[in-house]
Structure formats: C-alpha cells, structure tokens
C-alpha cells in the first residue's frame, strides 16, 4: 500500500492506495496520526481520499476508528471520501458509515468544510 499527502489551503488530503490490510495498517496509522497532528496545529481539516483504496480489512478499519478518535481529541475535522464499492460495502456492513459518514468525492469533502 502507498499513501500520499497533499496540503491545500483548507485541508490536508491523505490518499491511501492499494490494500489496507494487517501488513499496511501500522504505517497507515502512523501517517494518519502525523497528518492529524499537523492539521490540528495549522487549523486545517483532514480528508481521507480513498479513491485508490482497493481493499480494507478489519485492521484497516481500526486505523479509521483510531483516526476518528484522534481527530476528535485534537479538535480536527476528519472527512472520508471517494470510497470504492468494495470498501464502501465494508464501511456499511461494519457500521462505520454511521461513525464516519463518507462523502462522494474530494469536491464534496471540500464543500463540507
């Protein structure tokens, strides 16, 4: 899995791509926590653009949950967008869609800020 980061004037966009499974969870968790800390310090939101994410395991879901809690504790906004069908189904079945309601795409995420 690969994760890229892009800073805009209102948010830091973190874009994971590939498979977010057990082997990729720890580095991704570290990236989320680092990004949230940076965003909170700069009064920016964090957008998780999942358009390149092909697979999401329970270990990956844990990263999203810890990210949501970390963002809440830091006073940062965390928005998930662009879920592919397989990842969206995992979000729905696991109940994460209620915890972190995803938006359609990056434009919708920016509009929600």
Q: What is the pLDDT of residues 21-30, one digit of tens each?
A: 999 999 999 9
Q: What is the pLDDT of residues 70-93, one digit of tens each?
A: 999 999 999 999 999 999 999 999
Orientation angle between helical segments 58-74 and 22-42, nearest 10 degrees: 10
* Domain positions in the chain: 2-106
Q: What is the CATH number of domain 2-106?
A: 3.30.750.24
What pLDDT, on a 0 to 100 scale, did the predictor assign at position 60?
A: 94
User: β-pairing, 11-20 with 2-7?
Assistant: antiparallel
Stated pTM of the model: 0.92
């Amino acid at each position: 899995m690969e994760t890229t980061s892009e800073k805009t004037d209102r948010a830091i966009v973190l874009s994971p791509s590939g498979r977010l499974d057990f082997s990729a969870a720890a580095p991704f968790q570290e990236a989320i926590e680092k990004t949230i800390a940076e965003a909170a310090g700069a009064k920016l939101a964090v957008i998780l653009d999942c358009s390149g994410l092909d697979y999401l395991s329970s270990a990956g879901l844990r990263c999203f949950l810890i990210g949501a809690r970390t963002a809440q504790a830091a006073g940062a906004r965390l928005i998930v967008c662009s879920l592919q069908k397989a990842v969206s189904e995992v979000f729905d079945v696991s109940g994460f869609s209620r915890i972190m309601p995803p938006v359609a795409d990056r434009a919708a995420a920016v509009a929600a800020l």
